[in-house]
Structure 1
Amino acid sequence: MARPSSHRLYSDLVGIFSMPFPSLYGYFRLAAGYNSRGFSYPEDAVFAFAGITTALTRIFPGGFISGLPQMFFDVALLWQPERAATRRIKRNTSTNAYLPS
């Protein structure tokens, strides 16, 4: 499957802001598209997506817990990837610490 374009990710983000009620499906669609992007350093993905969740806190009451919307937390825990996921591994680490995937 082809990687989503920056235009599609932008339109997904704009779509979430234009909905009258927070959309869990819209959020997961945005996260799935964002997760497929490449970064120079794997740990950059965490910081970059934190910026998106900070902006979305205005729409999702209660904010986010580990990247999951607090208002849908019970349902969000059931999330499954659409296809095989690759774990991001922090570069130059002496521990077995993993980044969220």
Structure 2
Amino acid sequence: MRHCVSYEHCYEDNPKHGLKSRGNIARRPTNGDSALENSVPISERRRLGYDAINMELVVLPLHRTDEENCVRYYHGFVIDDPDQLRKRQDIINTAKKAGYPLPKKQTRR
């Protein structure tokens, strides 16, 4: 078995996250590759990315690891509403440190 000194990061969609949010399940990112490319670690198993073109703050959980080829696969979901950040000070702190904007409360018309 190969010992990985570093890993390539790769994005793959998770069917749990669709084009739109459903109940407590957040939507998938418009461009997960871009969010992952512009991401920073939250913890050992999660990253936080920001897609500036689509203005999406994206949480990227580690989905699986290919130890033979030294690849870590992540899926993602978008934080659209500040209510999704309740009790998630780790995400808030990581976003602020990285200079990523936090979502603002949507006003209804």
Normalised to the residue count of structure 2, the TM-score between the two structures is 0.28
Structure with the higher fraction of residues in strand conformation? 2
